[in-house]
Every structure is written in structure tokens, then in C-alpha cells.
Structure 1
Amino acid sequence: MLTLPMPVVATVIRLTRLRRYTTADRGRRALAAPKTSSAPPRSLTRRFDVSRSRDHGFDVYRVGAAAGPAVIYLHGGAYSSEIVSQHWDLIGHIAAETGRPVHVPIYGLAPAHHGLTALEFVQRVIADVGRCYLAGDSAGGGLALIAAQNTPGPVAGLTLMAPWLDLTMSNPGIDQVEPHDPWLRRAGLHPMAAAWAGDLPLTDPRLSPINGDLTGLPPTQILVGTRDITLPDCRLLRDRMPPEVPLTYHEQPGAIHVYPLLPVPEARAGRAAIVNHIRAAIG
């Protein structure tokens, strides 16, 4: 079992309470909550050259001014919550450690927006950026994989942190993991999945990439904790990955959802692995 210092425990508990989808009612309330600003914090804008564009109907932030291949980061939040400071902190870390600019598409959220709109938006961003590396956590990890499946040419590599791979969450292995996940419950996530899908079935591969074509993917990295309900589907993706796709797969014992974003000891090694994978893919 993972043992953490008490200040770290307190911080993790506070974070998980903020975004803990434990019941369908809580999930519906979170879905209906007003959206707040997605602008990067001053702690980031003081360190980096940060610009904003709105060429395709939604904001795209660029962190860092270097030229050449870039990283595109897609944030998590069950397709219904805004990007938060922990995302921006990791984005800044990637920009600093790789020397690559990081583009951050602020895709529209449920219930006002749906999955296909987000996919089309991200595809346009990829077309603008050119050769790139896609990274994302949770819902953003699922969207990153969907984008790579549908826009294969320019994507040189993928990092998926605890990706949401199947909106149905019907993998029977989740039954064993869910009681040990302090953050997520399927009941609370079902309203988000339904709102994000719109008129499409939840099994559509443009929403649930576990059902999509995995051939032709670039070098792919998956990071997941063993106390995370995304674990069974991450294992399924690992097992379905064609042998010709270079795969780096890591399970962190005792870690919870999207642990590289959290103030836990394991995050340091996770972040280092992400940076190394990006460097190997785009230099």
C-alpha cells in the first residue's frame, strides 16, 4: 500500500473531493455547474511566453516560443470540467524540460458541446501545428488517442495518462478496482458520458477509442495507477495493441487517478518518463 506524508495526504484528499464523482446525482450536479475561466495562472505566464489564439471557435494557448515540432496537451475533467492548475503545472514542466512549445486546445465541454465537436477542433489544431506529440490525461487521454486514430500522419508520439477509453465503462474488471479508487465511481461518470456522446452510441470509436483502429499508431506511452478505475481498460488497450506499435506501459502500484499530476512521490518518476518519451519521439 502506498504511504504518503500527511501534508501530501491532505492535498490529495482535497483534490479528490473537488472532483469526486461518487453518485449519479453528484455527477449531474457537476455536469450542470457553471464553467469558470480556463486561462493559465500567473505562475505560468511569469515563467513562459504564453499566447492565445481562437482560429477555430475555441481558445488555444501556446506555452513557450521555440520553433519546430510541438506538444499538444489535452486536459482531463470527465469532458465536463475545465483545465485546472495541476494541468498547467505539468504543461509548464513539459515545456521547460523538453524545450518544445506546448499547445493547449480548450475544447468545448459537456453538456453544451459534444465529442465530435472536440475531435474536429483538435484535428484542426493538429493541422495547424504539423508534426506534433499528443499527450493527455483521463478524458483528455481518451481524446488524444481518438485524435491519433483519426489524424495519423502528423502525430509522432502519444502519452496517455489513465485515459478514459470506453464511455460505457462496462469492463468487468472495473468491479474489482472501483472499491479501491478514492476518486471516481462509474455512477457519477455516466451522466458525463451520456452528455458527451449526444446522439451517438457510447460505443462509437470516435468517443470510446478502445473500439477504434489501433494499427498505425505512433510510439505510445500509457501510465496508470493500480487504484484507478481506468486500469482494466488500460490493460485491455495494452493487450490489444498491435505488435508493430512501439508501446511503453507502466502501472504504478498503489497510485490513484492521473498520479503524474498530483503532489505524490511517484509523480516525479512519471513526469520524467513522459519527458523522456517526448524527447525520443520529437527530439
Structure 2
Amino acid sequence: MASWQMRGVAAFTRLAYRRRFLSEEAGHRTLHRAKGPSTPPSGLAKRFRLSVDRAHGFDVHRLQAGAKPSETVVVYLHGGAYTSEIVPQHWSLIADIATRTGCDVYVPIYGLAPAHHGLQALEFVTAVVTSLTASGRRCYLAGDSAGGGLALLTAQATGPTGIAGLTVLAPWLDLSMANPGVDAIQPFDPWLSRPGLRPIAAAWAGGLELTDPRVSPLYGDLTDLPPLQILVGTRDITLADCRTLRDRLPLTSALTYHEEPGAIHVYPLLPVPESRAGRDAIVSHIRSCVDY
């Protein structure tokens, strides 16, 4: 591994082990932390045609890699426990997807908790996807962590028409986090734990039951989903619900499922050795679902 990557691993490990979600108090602090900017890093303007619009009430950024708009687009939904803004690691993966697939990538910047809640985000992202498909473009949905949960919710809400495929990276599938399998994984997850996520889940539900299928896709309709890819590490508490989702899907589902041994949360975004293989898998799945 290159020295820069080693430094990145060390820096990230220090960050991860701060355990921002260790306690409910820590979760409340994260929930009420000031939000940062959502604009793409300035360096992306040298590589892509960038644009932004607010046709549906929130910013939607677009990265266009080719000389003209692509027929199929990727809609990427960032993670951050529904309360943290998009960060450079997200933009790095988004840029990689645009470069290596040739697809335009749309990035809806949904409102975050506590000022916003799950039904607002689902309405917004669904409107973005519906508008794109109505214009004749196919959409491939992708997202990590909270964004992965929202991507699956969007696929459930819009149906398979016009949806080419779906990738979710360690998705937050159940706001209640009731799966007993979490108990065995949580001691080995250096980043996430139930106590700190509980106040965030309650804020995001906005008065709904945590198991309402409009905010927790594990309880929603799992039939007629587009080709689905799930990537998750084995040191990640989302693993328990990823396994449940895998097992609940109809046998006829087009599923690509991968557990990365020893990997932590959303590993394809991170400066860790497993990241490149994870990104390769994402790009390969998009290409397999897109008609060139």
C-alpha cells in the first residue's frame, strides 16, 4: 500500500475511533451540529461540466463527463446518518463513477435532520427521479449508509420503470435498529453504535413509527426491485439488516451481494485497502445494467 494511503488509513482510524455515535448525548451533539456546505470541490470543475438547479426545492448537482448528456444517469444519495452533509469522500466516489461509466451523475442534496425529516427527503428524491425518467432518461440509483436506505426507499416508491439498477453501500435499512444480530457486531464496529443513532433516527422519522416502510425500507415492498447490489463490511452494524434484506428478497430478484471480511462502514469511500475493489464492483454493476 502506498505511503499516502497508509497515512489516510491512520488518519481515518483515529477519526473513526472517536465514536461520535457512542452515546445518546454524542448523537444529540451530532444531530445539532452546524451543517457545512454541499457544493462540489472546486477541482471537479476541471474534469466535468458542473451544473446545479433547484427545480424541486433543494439543490441538485450534476456532473457531466461526456460532451453531451448521457441517456442513463446515476442518481447518488450521500450518507451521513441523515444529519451530516455530503463530504469530499462522497464527491471522490461520485467523480469516479462519472469518469468510469460515462454517465452523468445527479446528486440531490436532501434536507437534513433535525430541520428536515424522512418524508420530505423521499418526496424530493422521488420527484427528481420521476422528472428524469419522464424526460426519457433511465436512472441508476446509488447511495451509501443513510443515502443507501433512501435510494432503496426511492426505488420502492417509483417502481422499476425507468430504473436501470440500484447499488447500496452499507444501507441504513431499519431506523429502529431492532435486529438482534446487531448485538454481536457492535463491539467490533469502530464507528457506529445504536445509542448515538437513536436520537437521530427519532428526528428523521418525524413522528412516524421507526418501522414505517416510508422511512425504513426493510419493511417495504421488496418485489419488482431493479437489479440490486449490496456491499457491506463485516465490522459494520448495518451488516445484520443487510443479511435480513438479502434473505427477504424474492428468489427471482437480481441480487449481487458482497460482504467484505474485516471491512468497516462504507468502505468503498474510505482510504482503506478494500476501497478499490469495492469501487470496481460498483462500476461493474452499473455497466452491467446500462445499455451502451
TM range (shorter): over 0.9
TM-score, structure 1 as length reference: 0.96
Residues 66, 99 of structure 1: 8 Å contact kept: no
Aligned counterpart in structure 1 of residue 103 of structure 2, from 87, 90, 100: 100
CA distance in 1, matches of 2:150, 2:6: 34
Other-structure match for 2:260: 252
CA shift in 2, pair 1:47/1:276, >3 Å: same
Separation in 2 of the partners of 1:34 and 1:44? 25
Q: Which of 122, 126, 129 is equivalent to 2:125?
A: 122
Q: 1:97-144 CA deviation, whole Å, 9 max, x = no partner?
A: 000000000000000101000000001100122120000000000000
Instruction: Choose which of 273, 276, 284 in structure 2 pairs with 1:276.
Output: 284
Q: Which deviates further from its counterpart, 17-26 or 90-99? A: 17-26
1:181 aligns with 2:184: no
Residue number in structure 2 paired with 1:210: 218
* 2:232 counterpart of 1:229: no
Residue type of the partner of 1:136?
A: G
Structure 1 residue matching 2:81: 3-state secondary structure: coil
Q: Which residue of 2 aligns with 1:134?
A: 141
Residue 9 (structure 1) shift: 3.0
Q: Does 1:33 align with 2:40?
A: no
Tell me, in whole angstroms, the C-alpha distance in 1 between the residues paired with 2:46 and 2:6.
30
TM-score normalised by length of structure 2: 0.93
**Matched letter for residue 9 of structure 1:** V
Shift of residue 6, structure 1, vs aligned partner: 4.5
In structure 2, what is the Cα distance between the partners aligned to 1:110 and 1:170? 21
CA contact (8 A) 2:70 2:102 kept: no
Q: Give the deviation of 1:8 after TM superposition.
A: 3.7
Greater shift after overlay, 16-25 or 194-203?
Answer: 16-25
Q: Determine the C-alpha separation between the residues in 2 that align with 1:15 and 1:125.
A: 34
Question: In structure 1, what is the equivalent of residue 116 of structure 2?
Answer: 113
122-131 or 13-22, which deviates more: 13-22
Structure 1: tracts of 5 or more residues without a match: none
Which runs of at least 4 in structure 1 moved beyond 3 Å after TM superposition? none
- What do the CA deviations read for 1:173-202 (whole angstroms, capped 9, x no partner)? 000000000000110000110000011110
Partners in 2 of 1:112 and 1:88 — Cα distance? 24
RMSD: 1.4
Instruction: Answer yes or no: is 1:23 the counterpart of 2:23.
Output: yes
- Determine if the alignment matches structure 1 residue 155 to structure 2 residue 163: yes
CA distance in 1, matches of 2:17, 2:37: 20
In 1, are the aligned partners of 2:20 and 2:30 still within 8 Å (CA)?
no
Asked if the contact 1:44–1:89 (Cα under 8 Å) also holds between the matched residues in 2, the reply is: no
- Greater mean alpha carbon deviation, residues 229-238 or residues 43-52: 43-52
Q: Which residue of 2 aligns with 1:62?
A: 62
Distance in 1, matches of 2:43 and 2:192, equals 29
Alignment partner for residue 165 of structure 1, among 170, 173, 190? 173
How many angstroms apart in 2 are the aligned matches of 1:11 and 1:132? 35
Structure 1 position 46, deviation (Å)? 2.1
- In structure 2, do the counterparts of structure 1 residues 199 and 206 end up closer, same or farther at CA, with 3 Å as the change threshold? same
Cα 1:19–1:88 shift into 2, 3 Å: farther
SS in 2 for 1:51: strand
**Equivalenced residues, count:** 280
Q: Alpha-carbon deviation of 1:245?
A: 1.2
Separation in 2, partners of 1:49, 1:57: 22
The percent identity for this pair of structures is 63
Contact 2:19–2:190 (CA<8 Å) still a contact in 1?
no
**Shift, 1:17, TM fit:** 5.2
Q: Which amino acid aligns with 2:127?
A: R
Structure 1 equivalent of residue 246 of structure 2: 238
Gaps of 5+ in 2: none
Return 62-71 or 271-280, whichever deviates more.
62-71
